[in-house]
Amino acid sequence: MSGAGGITRTQQDIAGGDIPVDTPRLPAREAAESELSKPMYHENDPNFLQRALNQFWDWVAGVFDAAAGAAPGGTAGLAVLVVIVVGLAAALWWRLGTPQRSARSPEALFDSTGPRSAAQHRATAEAHAAALRWTEAVQERMRAIVRSLEERALLDPRPGRTADEAAAEAGRTLPEHTARLRAAARSFDDVTYGGRTADQSAYLSLRTLDLELDEAKPLLLPGTSRGATG
């Protein structure tokens, strides 16, 4: 309504303070953010770990979506490629075996700390036995046996030799002790790689064998030139 009456009504509204409140945009946004930051609005929010996992799986999904888009045949083609890759990896693993960190056999008799004499291995074995550490005592006594045979030239020193190989080779020149050498090698393998625990009788058996081998006379095979006789 225009005219004097309309003007009079507008003036009265202004005088009475009935003008609508128009809050500026920036303070209004700050007020809203302050209100929404209250804990009551975030009780069911995911924690940091959940948010990180969600972001990770979103990334994985994005990678697979991109790969599926690039692979021939889409998702089905990607699945076929994955199966082929897994099959090739399994075939290589079966053919080549578990990769080794070095050329040293995983069942090698001696460790990589450097050569030690038979006397040193015997002393270490006796120290373990005195402390009732029978497993370690058996290991060191078997090493003493093989090192002693190497020092007497009944075995050629060879890095990476296993206990079974040493027993088989020594049995050719010491046939009377072949069975006990093989039993000693089995004891070594059982406690070193089989997870078994040695006892006093196992150690004493190797100790007796070591002492007997130290005085045993080797059988010289045709064509051999071993000069040590014990």
- Position 114 scores a pLDDT of 60
Cα 123-124-130 angle, rounded to 5 deg: 90
Identify the sign of the CA torsion 131, 134, 138, 143: negative
Distance separating alpha carbons of residues 218 and 155, to the nearest angstrom: 11
Cβ atoms of residues 170 and 149 within 8 Å: yes
Amino acid (one-letter) located at 94: W
- Position 83 scores a pLDDT of 72
Q: How many CA atoms lie within 13 A of 117 on its CB side?
A: 4
Q: How many CA atoms lie within 13 A of 122 on its CB side?
A: 14
- Position 119 scores a pLDDT of 94
Cβ atoms of residues 163 and 188 within 8 Å: yes
- Position 115 scores a pLDDT of 77
Q: 138: closest CA among 208, 72, 41, 90?
A: 208
- Position 216 scores a pLDDT of 86
- Position 39 scores a pLDDT of 66
- Position 93 scores a pLDDT of 66
Bridge partner residues of 162 (DSSP): 108
Q: What is the DSSP string of 75-114?
A: HHHHHHHHHHHHHHHHHHHHHH-SPPSSSS-TTBSS-SS-
- Position 116 scores a pLDDT of 86
For the chain (230 residues), the mean pLDDT of every run of 10, in chain order, is 49 51 64 67 66 78 68 62 72 56 52 76 95 95 94 88 91 93 94 92 95 86 48
